[in-house]
Structure 1
Amino acid sequence: MPGVSPLQDSLGVVTLSVLVAGQRVAASADLVSVTVHRAANSVPGARLVFSDGDMPERKFPISDADDFKPGAVLTVKAGYGQQEETLFEGIVVRHGVRIMGANDARLVVDCRDAAVKMTVGRRNANYIDKTDSDIMTTLIEAHALEADVEATTVTHRELAQHFCSDWDFLLARAEAQGLLVIATDGVLAVKSPSADGEAALAVTYGIDLISFEGDVDARHQYG
C-alpha cells in the first residue's frame, strides 16, 4: 500500500501529555513548546519549555517540584481527540531556568533516550572469538537496554576497545559492518539500511508538507 499521510486520522483537537514515572504532570498545562529530535546513529532527545516563575513570590513552582529533576523518566504523548501515542520517552539530563525580558520566566528541560547511558565514560575491553553482532549486543545489554542486532558472520580472534565509550565503540562496529544504529525509547536496533518495500510515509507539497529544504552541493565533487 502507498505511504500514509501525516494528516491521516487527524480529526479532533490536538492533545499533548507529559508523564513522569508514568503519571501525568499538572505542568502539562504550562507547556510552551516541545521539540523532539531523532536521527540514525545518534541518541534521540527532547526539549520541553514551560512557562514558570512567580515574580511576586520570587519562586519557580514547576522548577521547585520534583517532577523534572535530572534522572527522572519522562514520556511525551500527543495525538488527536484523546487518541495519543508516545512521541518520546527518556531521561531528564538537564534542568534550567531562564528569565528573559518583561520578566518572562521559562523552565527548560532537556531529555535524552536511555541510550545516553552508553555515552558516559570511556572504557577498555577485550573481546575474544566474538562476532560484531555479539559485541554490539553485549555493549547494549550492559546498560539494561534492549538489543535488536542483525547477525554478522565474521568472528574476530581478538578485538580491543581502548579508552572509548560504549556508544562510540558501538557506532564504530556498526559502521564497519555497514549497519545503522536506531535508538527508540530504550530499544537499540542495529540493522542494514534498506530501500525495498513500500514507503511508510507520503508527504505532498501543498497538502501536508509544512517545510522542506533540499540542496545539491558540488563543493567536494572532483569529477
Structure 2
Amino acid sequence: MKGVYTITLSCQGKKLTSLQRHIVALEVILTVNKIPTAQLVIAERGPPLEQPFHLSRGDFFKPGHRVDIHLRYEDEPKNEKLIFSGIVVKHKIAWHDDHGARLSLDLKSQAIRLTTRRKSALFEKTTDKDIITRLIRQGGLTLKGAIGKAEVKHPQMVQYHCSDWDFILARATANGLWVLFHYLEGKEHIQIVAPDFKQSPKQVFNVNNVDPQIVIHNVELEVDIRQQLNKVRAAHWDTQKLALTWVDAQQTSVKQGTVDAAQAAQAIGADPYPLVHLGGVAPEELRACSKAMLDQARLTLLRGRFQIKGRKDITLGECIAIKGVGSYFEGQAMITGIRHQLNREGWQTHVQVGLTEGMSRSFEMCDPAAAGLLPAIQGLHVGTVVGHEKEQNPQFCLKVHLPLLEDKNKVLWARLASPYASDKKGMVFRPEVGDEVVLGFFNNDPRYPVILGAMHSEKNPPPLAMEKDNHQKGIVTQEDMQFLMDDKEKTLQWMTAKNNSVTLVSGKKSGIYLKDQHNNQVNLTEQGIDIKLDKNLTADTGQNVVIKGKKIDFK
C-alpha cells in the first residue's frame, strides 16, 4: 500500500518481524558532529505478546545488545534500507491505564564506546589524520573512505583527560572537517571529511509543489547576521623572530540563501577576528582552524528546519535547494541534521539546514582555552624529568613525563623557564633526571609545556635542613659544589666537594677566608693577611719582587 511504511528490527543479527503492528513510535536523529540516537516505543499487548512486559522479560532488547533498524515503504519491498544501527543504552517499561504496557528503548550508535572514558595519551611525530584513524579503529568502528585534509605533522600531540570522541571531534573541527555517520552495506560507517560547499544541489524542495516527494511542510527558517565575521586572522608565537606571526584564513565558499554574509558582517562592524595561540602551533594548522571558524560562521547565517514526507535517500552534508520560501531564504542550503519520525500517523522526515551553534560572536570574557584547537589542560601539573637531549632540540627542551599519561614510556618536550635568559647570557639551572617539576602550559594547550620550577619531596629531600628561623639559603649541585648563605652567621661561602672553600664574613670576624683540601689557608681580616701553609710557599714572577714594611722578620 502506497505511503504505508514497514519497520524491520534486528537484534544481534536476528530479525523480529512480528512486532511491526506493535511499534507505537520510532525516532532516529542524525546530526553533523554528533553521535546518532534513536528512540523506540513498543506496545506490549496482544498476540504474539502473551503477557505484559513480555519483550522486556527476554533477551531481544537486552541493554548492550545491538539493534538494527531498516525502513521501507510497503510498495517497495526491494528498497529496504538500514537507517540506524546502535546499542540499547536505556530499557524502560511503563504501565498506564489508558494504553497499557509499553517498552521504551533508547539507542545510541556504537560510537558511544568512544565517549565512556577520559584518557590521556601522547602521539609523537604524526598527523591528525593518522591519530583519528587509530582512535576510530581502536573503538572497533568502521571508517568510510579517506579522512579529509589533515596533513600537518605534529612533533607531539597530547590527548589530555578527555574521551576519544571529544578528542576526535576537536581535532576534526580544528582542521575544518565534519564527523558524519552513514549506514552502508548493512553496517554503520564514520566519515570524516571537509564539507563540500561547491557541490551542486542534489535535491530541490518547494513549498508550493504538489509532488509529495519534494513538497515541504512546517517550515522554520531564519537569517541571523549576529555571528558573521569579516575575516579571521590567526597568530602564533614565532620563537625564531620572538614575535607574533599572523596568517589570514582563506575566503570561504559557503553560500546559503541570498543574503551577502560579507556585507552582513560589515553592517554589524565585524572587525577581523583574532585567533591567537602563544604555543608553537604550525601556521598550516592555524590557517585550517581559522578557515573552519569562518565556514562555521557562514553556516549560521541561514538556519532552520522543515518537514518532508519520509525519505531515506537524503544524507548529512548534502547540498539542497529550497524554493517558495521568500527572497532571503531561496537558494542553496546544506543539510546538517536529519530526524526520522514514525508513528501511527505515518513517516515524516525533518531536515535541518545550517548550524544552530557557530563560533560565538558574543565574545565570552575569556577566549577558548588552547584556542579551541583541542581539549585543554587547566592549572599547574606535576611532572618528572626523564632526560636531556642535545640533538634536534632548538628550544633547549627537557623530556618530562606526566603521571596522567597512561603510557609510562611516553614523554613530552618541555621548555625551561629561567629568571634570566638572554642571547648567550643567562642563568642555567636545568633540573636533574628524576626531579619532580612544576609544569604550566602555553595557552592551556597540553602540547606546549614549560617547566616553571622544581620541588623537593620525601624522595628528593633538600640539601639544607628546615629551620625555624630560615637563616640558610644556597645552591648545592649534583657533585656537591656549594654556594651557601647564612644570615645568622653573616657568611657567604663557595665550597667544593673536597672542602676547597672561599668564605666571606661580614659579622664580628669580618673578612675573606680561603682554605683548600691540603690545609692551606689565606685569611684577609682587619689584622691584615694571614697565610698558613703545611708545606712550601713558592713565588715566581717575571718582574721584580718588592717587600716593604716598617719591620720585616725572616725566621
Shorter chain as normaliser: what TM range? 0.7 to 0.9
CA distance in 1, matches of 2:157, 2:176: 18
CA distance in 2, matches of 1:77, 1:58: 27
**Could you tell me how far 1:184 is from its partner in structure 2?**
2.6
Q: Is the 8 A contact 1:131 1:153 kept in 2?
A: yes
In the alignment, is residue 146 of structure 1 matched against residue 142 of structure 2? Answer: yes
CA distance in 1, matches of 2:157, 2:140: 23
CA distance in 2, matches of 1:128, 1:210: 51
Cα distance change, pair 100–216 in 1 and its aligned pair in 2 (3 A): farther
Q: 2:196 aligns with which of 186, 191, 194?
A: 194
Give the structure 1 partner of residue 113 of structure 2: 117
**Could you tell me how far 1:127 is from its partner in structure 2?**
0.3
Cα distance change, pair 98–215 in 1 and its aligned pair in 2 (3 A): farther
Give the structure 2 partner of residue 74 of structure 1: 67
1 or 2, which has the higher helix percentage? 1
How many residues are aligned here? 212
**Could you tell me how far 1:114 is from its partner in structure 2?**
1.2
CA distance in 1, matches of 2:104, 2:3: 29
Q: Is the 8 A contact 2:141 2:189 kept in 1?
A: yes
CA distance in 2, matches of 1:124, 1:22: 35
Cα distance change, pair 197–58 in 1 and its aligned pair in 2 (3 A): closer
- 1:137-184 CA-to-partner distances (Å, cap 9, x unmatched) read 111011111124224221000011111000000001001101101123
Q: Is the 8 A contact 1:41 1:182 kept in 2?
A: yes
CA distance in 2, matches of 1:175, 1:102: 48
Cα distance change, pair 220–157 in 1 and its aligned pair in 2 (3 A): closer
Q: Is the 8 A contact 1:44 1:184 kept in 2?
A: no
Q: 1:180 aligns with which of 178, 181, 185?
A: 178
Letter in 2 for 1:210: H
**Aligned positions of 1:201-216 closer than 5 A:** 201-206=203-208, 207=210, 208-216=215-223
Which runs of 5 or more residues in structure 2 are unaligned?
229-267, 270-555
Give the structure 2 partner of residue 161 of structure 1: 159
CA distance in 1, matches of 2:227, 2:81: 42
Partner secondary structure for residue 39 of structure 2: strand
In the alignment, is residue 43 of structure 1 matched against residue 35 of structure 2? Answer: yes
In the alignment, is residue 17 of structure 1 matched against residue 8 of structure 2? Answer: yes
**Could you tell me how far 1:72 is from its partner in structure 2?**
1.2
Which runs of 5 or more residues in structure 1 are unaligned?
1-9
CA distance in 1, matches of 2:111, 2:140: 9
CA distance in 1, matches of 2:41, 2:207: 30
CA distance in 2, matches of 1:160, 1:171: 14
Higher relative contact order (CA 8 A, sep 6+): 1
Cα distance change, pair 219–151 in 1 and its aligned pair in 2 (3 A): closer
**Could you tell me how far 1:90 is from its partner in structure 2?**
1.3
Give the structure 2 partner of residue 52 of structure 1: 44
CA distance in 1, matches of 2:203, 2:14: 31
**Aligned positions of 1:127-146 closer than 5 A:** 127-146=123-142
Letter in 2 for 1:113: S
CA distance in 1, matches of 2:189, 2:220: 30
- 1:37-82 CA-to-partner distances (Å, cap 9, x unmatched) read 001100011111001268xx97311211211111111111111222
Q: Is the 8 A contact 1:113 1:183 kept in 2?
A: no
Compute the RMSD of aligned alpha carbons: 2.3
So what's the TM-score if we normalise by structure 1?
Answer: 0.86
Moved more, 209-218 or 165-174: 209-218
CA distance in 1, matches of 2:10, 2:205: 30
Cα distance change, pair 218–177 in 1 and its aligned pair in 2 (3 A): closer
Give the structure 2 partner of residue 104 of structure 1: 100
Partner secondary structure for residue 115 of structure 1: helix
**Could you tell me how far 1:132 is from its partner in structure 2?**
0.6
Moved more, 19-28 or 187-196: 19-28
What is the percent sequence identity of the aligned residues?
32
Q: Is the 8 A contact 2:65 2:88 kept in 1?
A: yes
So what's the TM-score if we normalise by structure 2?
Answer: 0.36
Q: Is the 8 A contact 2:128 2:171 kept in 1?
A: yes
Partner secondary structure for residue 204 of structure 2: coil
**Could you tell me how far 1:116 is from its partner in structure 2?**
1.1
- 1:64-104 CA-to-partner distances (Å, cap 9, x unmatched) read 12111111111111112223111111111111112335253
Moved more, 101-110 or 30-39: 101-110
Cα distance change, pair 197–218 in 1 and its aligned pair in 2 (3 A): closer
Q: Is the 8 A contact 1:115 1:183 kept in 2?
A: no
